[in-house]
């Protein structure tokens, strides 16, 4: 990834400024919809680059600081799609499933060093996720996938109509944070 060096540099600057790094949150990501054969190789690779490899590069950059202190918490934001995918979002689901698997294994790898790893798999709630800025939909449409295209249109039409949980989210995260076991959070 072209930006892996800039991620490492950002971690170094944060460490120099604050003297420690206690928490890293991987929240970058975007949706990509369409049948697998409708998506270009470039679309698929870009999705994995942002949704999976970006998180890996952040983790690689932050772990040396957390290992040194024997303390830290990495929080990876996945999606319910990584556990219960929906029609038309196979590549997105694959990236989010990969992040869940990565987080589960990483949590075991770093536990003995006092580092916690949590993966959060939220369902649909009101954000800008359903907008053109956050979603990529295949340009090339194959007529045989008409029902899949209808499902994607239904998903896009939900923008602004998702559940409003932002007021409940801080309370949920606060109570969840105080639990002793924090590996996977669904809401």
38-73: pLDDT as tens digits: 999 999 999 999 999 999 999 999 999 999 999 999
Q: What are phi and psi of 135, to 5 degrees?
A: -110, 140
Please report the pLDDT score of residue 183 as a whole number: 57
Mean pLDDT of the chain: 84
* CA distance linking residue 56 with residue 65, whole number of Å: 15
Please report the pLDDT score of residue 120 as a whole number: 86
Please report the pLDDT score of residue 172 as a whole number: 57
Please report the pLDDT score of residue 126 as a whole number: 52
- What number is the average pLDDT over the span 157-186? 56
Q: The tokens 């970006």 sit on which residue?
A: 54
Higher-pLDDT residue of 174, 66: 66
Catalytic position from the list 47, 96, 97, 145: 96
Is 168 a residue of the active site? no
| pTM for this predicted structure | 0.81
Cα 61 to its chain centre, rounded Å, is: 17
Catalytic position from the list 47, 79, 90, 92: 92
Q: Is the pLDDT of residue 155 over 60?
A: yes
Judged by DSSP in three states, 143 sits in helix
Is 161 a residue of the active site? no
Please report the pLDDT score of residue 89 as a whole number: 92
Is 92 a residue of the active site? yes
- What number is the average pLDDT over the span 60-89? 93
Residue 49's CB: how many other CB atoms inside 10 A?
15
């Amino acid at each position: 990834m072209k930006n892996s060096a800039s991620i490492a540099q950002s971690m170094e600057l944060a460490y120099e400024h604050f003297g420690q790094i206690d928490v890293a949150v991987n929240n970058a990501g975007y949706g990509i919809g369409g049948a697998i054969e409708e998506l270009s190789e470039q679309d698929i690779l870009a999705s994995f680059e942002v949704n999976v490899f970006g998180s890996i590069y952040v983790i690689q950059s932050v772990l040396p600081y957390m290992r040194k202190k024997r303390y830290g918490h990495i929080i990876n934001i996945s999606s319910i799609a990584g556990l219960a995918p929906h029609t038309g979002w196979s590549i997105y689901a694959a990236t989010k499933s990969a992040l869940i698997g990565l987080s589960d294994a990483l949590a075991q790898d770093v536990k003995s060093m006092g580092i916690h790893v949590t993966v959060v798999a939220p369902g649909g709630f009101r954000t800008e996720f359903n907008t053109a800025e956050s979603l990529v939909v295949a340009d090339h449409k194959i007529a045989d996938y008409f029902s899949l295209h209808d499902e994607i249109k239904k998903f896009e039409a939900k923008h602004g109509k998702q559940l409003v949980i932002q007021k409940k989210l801080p309370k949920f995260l606060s109570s969840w944070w105080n639990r002793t076991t924090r590996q996977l959070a669904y809401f």
